[in-house]
Amino acid sequence: MHKVISFYINLINETLKERVVKKEPANLYEPIDYTLKLGGKRIRPALLMLANNLFDGNDKTALNSALAIEIFHNFTLLHDDIMDEAPLRRGKPSVYKKWNTNVAILSGDVMLIESIQLLSKKNHPNLHQVLSIFNTTAIQVCEGQQLDMDFEELPNVSIDDYLKMIELKTAVLLGASLKIGAVISHASSDNSHHIYEFGKNLGIAFQLMDDILDLYGDPEKVGKRIGGDVISNKKTYLLLKAQELATGKAKKDLEFCLSSIVLDDNTKIEKVKSIFNTLNIKKLALEEMNLFYNTAISHLDSVDANESKKMVFEQFAKGLMKRDN
Amino acid sequence: MHKVISFYINLINETLKERVVKKEPANLYEPIDYTLKLGGKRIRPALLMLANNLFDGNDKTALNSALAIEIFHNFTLLHDDIMDEAPLRRGKPSVYKKWNTNVAILSGDVMLIESIQLLSKKNHPNLHQVLSIFNTTAIQVCEGQQLDMDFEELPNVSIDDYLKMIELKTAVLLGASLKIGAVISHASSDNSHHIYEFGKNLGIAFQLMDDILDLYGDPEKVGKRIGGDVISNKKTYLLLKAQELATGKAKKDLEFCLSSIVLDDNTKIEKVKSIFNTLNIKKLALEEMNLFYNTAISHLDSVDANESKKMVFEQFAKGLMKRDN
């Protein structure tokens, strides 16, 4: 990882560690402290700082906005974990499991408000624009989560709908982090637009890579069991593309795998993988991923800024796609 | 009710009715529309408009902020109803009952973001200050809800802690509504302070009146069963004051009523009421209420503005205390 990126990640972690935490009511503030100290890759705030640096902004001004984005992201995790009934977060009990659902709802609410508070802590000429980007994005993230839940109940989800969902749920926040970094450093609207599109498209590519790695990743590098999405019938790009393309025997076999209650996990994974291989799903998914990745890079190319600083973004993007966790 | 107040309440209701509602995802936006059309007294947005009018602000500028406050208030109801397991809201199923908990969490989140979006829709010189008041208040409201839930589990709650809780949970939002109305109409900081304190103290008085009416109200006027708080052992001002003052036989009798599982509801209400009467609780509660009410009025007196416009606030305050619902 480039040393500028590590520098910003360390800065975010140090600032979160030294953050003054209100003590009372303990049931409201302890879960927030717990969540923010669970760690995380800090990708979003690092991107905000990087974008701010790209356009020669002031690090101190940007830091509050970077923390705001990280706290907002963690707010979504608190509420998502309730909705998705996810007992673990970063290997530790999620807040609704460690405390209870009410605590996770209310602490999450406070984190959402704290993120707005941090964004608008200092008055600056672009405050209105920053809030406008943030609010639009925050609502999109909620829409993405709702679509994700809706899709679980639907028999058919199109690839277009799926791409829209991951764009809203994951990708727009990466774009917005970069755009806010750009806007507070007074970047031109063209540059702000291109850096946003870089982040958004990279985010979609990243999510598609996630889908691919679930089945085709190296278990040691991915750090979790291979095929988890297959076992749970999760509507990933791979499955949706297979459902779109499968006909005849492949279609019947796939339907059997999805509905059978007699198949053991390993057999199910092997059977589904073999259907995917017949339909060339891995290659198609990689092509789709590369499409978004290349769109991201072409937007980065269109950014008018110091070329060596732009290289850090490209390196970051490459690192993200080759990730081993 | 003064015609200026009715005018603003109608304006809020009409604007909410004509509000353009996003259609998709339906599970996210239908509950918001449902909630905002359930009605409500619209006290908070009306106060904001009134304060804005008091300091000769522009109605159109204030309207977005007024809607923001009403949507924020309704966001708190959506999440509170989950936490308090309240199946009804304004006589209709609450959102988590009509849909489910996940829908109520996520729709509530969107309402919170929409309220910030409305507050910051237009760029104006005092945007930073308005957001600062709003964010501080929003966090206080969450703290109040947490304290309210914490108190249910505590054996002893002091009167001071109770007053702090109702200040946070209910009163500060009335104060903030007025202060935001004042700030967007460029009122002086002294005037903004006094109108805030008027609202906050009136809010506490209002909540104390609520506690008193539960047991001493006219059932027809109060519109609900008398003694509901007594039946559920709710830690109201009346009960906490009685626990503070009771000694000897009264103390024993009160403890019996709170812990007995054999008493039927009506007997319990009669017994508790008789203990309260011995301890003069109604009079003490009315005195406490009047203390806050008079503090509210003295802050109103200190506001430097048109006296006939100020009279509308006093009339509003009186009406609120003599409410029959």
- Asked if the structure places residue A21 within a domain, the reply is yes
Beta-carbon contacts below 8 Å between A and B = 100
**B 30-89 near A (Cβ less than 8 A):** 79, 82-83
Using a CB-CB distance cutoff of 8 angstroms, which residues of chain A are in contact with residue B114?
139
- Asked if the structure places residue A150 within a domain, the reply is no
What are A69-106's pLDDT values in tens digits?
999 999 999 999 999 999 999 989 999 999 999 999 99
Cβ-based neighbour number of residue B151 at 10 Å:
16
Percent of chain B residues past pLDDT 90, beyond the cut = 88
Residue B93: is its pLDDT beyond 50? yes
Q: Are B83 and A82 in contact (CB under 8 A)?
A: no
The residue among A120, A160, A173 with the most chain B CBs within 10 A of its CB, best to mutate, is: A120
Q: Do residue A60 and residue A131 come from a single domain?
A: yes
Of residues B183, B188, B174, the one with CA closest to residue B132: B183
Q: Is residue B129 helix, strand or coil?
A: helix
Residue A220: is its pLDDT beyond 90? no
Q: What is the pLDDT of residue B322?
A: 79
Number of domains forming the structure of chain A:
2
- Asked if the structure places residue A158 within a domain, the reply is no
The answer to whether the Cβ–Cβ distance between A113 and B110 falls below 8 Å is no
- Asked if the structure places residue A156 within a domain, the reply is no
Q: Do residue A75 and residue A212 come from a single domain?
A: no
| Cα–Cα separations (whole angstroms), residue B297 to A118, A143, B4, B198, B291 | 35, 45, 19, 6, 10
Domain termination residue (choose one: A121, A142, A163): A142
Q: Do residue A196 and residue A128 come from a single domain?
A: no
Round to whole Å and give the CA distance between A102 and A95: 10
pLDDT category at B222 given cuts 50, 70, 90 is: low
Q: Do residue A54 and residue A137 come from a single domain?
A: yes
Q: Do residue A7 and residue A92 come from a single domain?
A: yes
Which member of A113, A128, A135 has the closest CB to residue B138?
A113
Q: Report the chain B residue with the minimal C-alpha distance to residue A26.
A: B146
- pLDDT mean over A196-205: 98
**Residue B141 forms contact with A (CB below 8 Å):** no
Domain termination residue (choose one: A110, A142, A174): A142
Q: Are A71 and A79 in contact (CB under 8 A)?
A: no
Q: Are B159 and B237 in contact (CB under 8 A)?
A: yes
**Residue A265 forms contact with B (CB below 8 Å):** no
- pLDDT mean over B129-147: 98
Q: Do residue A104 and residue A25 come from a single domain?
A: yes
3-state DSSP percent of chain A in helix, strand and coil, to 5: 75, 0, 20
Round to whole Å and give the CA distance between B36 and A143: 19
What domain range is A78 assigned to? 1-142
Residue B324: is its pLDDT beyond 80? no
What are B226-273's pLDDT values in tens digits?
899 999 999 999 999 999 999 999 999 999 999 998 999 999 999 999
- Asked if the structure places residue A154 within a domain, the reply is no
Residue B323: is its pLDDT beyond 70? no
The answer to whether the Cβ–Cβ distance between A109 and B27 falls below 8 Å is no
Q: What is the pLDDT of residue B325?
A: 43
Q: Do residue A203 and residue A72 come from a single domain?
A: no
Q: What is the CATH number of the domain that holds A230?
A: 1.10.600.10
DSSP A91-159: TEE-HHHHS-HHHHHHHHHHHHHHHHHHHTSS--TTHHHHHHHHHHHHHHHHHHHHHHHHHHH-S---H
Q: Do residue A132 and residue A227 come from a single domain?
A: no
What are A24-68's pLDDT values in tens digits?
999 999 999 999 999 899 999 999 999 999 999 999 989 999 999
- Asked if the structure places residue A221 within a domain, the reply is yes
pLDDT category at B205 given cuts 50, 70, 90 is: very high
- Asked if the structure places residue A200 within a domain, the reply is yes
Q: Do residue A135 and residue A215 come from a single domain?
A: no
Which member of B106, B142, B143 has the closest CB to residue A145?
B106
> Chain B closest CA to A44's CA: distance in Å?
19
Q: What is the pLDDT of residue A221?
A: 73
Domain termination residue (choose one: A108, A142, A176): A142
List B93's β-bridge partners, or say none.
B88
- Asked if the structure places residue A277 within a domain, the reply is yes
Q: Please, what's the largest Cα pairwise distance for chain B? A: 63
List A132's β-bridge partners, or say none.
none
Residue A224: is its pLDDT beyond 90? no
Q: Do residue A288 and residue A210 come from a single domain?
A: yes
Q: Report the chain A residue with the minimal C-alpha distance to residue B100.
A: A83
List B89's β-bridge partners, or say none.
B92
Q: Do residue A192 and residue A136 come from a single domain?
A: no
Q: Do residue A136 and residue A192 come from a single domain?
A: no
Q: Is residue A185 helix, strand or coil?
A: coil
Using a CB-CB distance cutoff of 8 angstroms, which residues of chain A are in contact with residue B32?
none
Using a CB-CB distance cutoff of 8 angstroms, which residues of chain A are in contact with residue B146?
25, 27-28, 106
Residue A215: is its pLDDT beyond 50? yes
CA angle A109, B140, A126 (to 5 degrees): 70
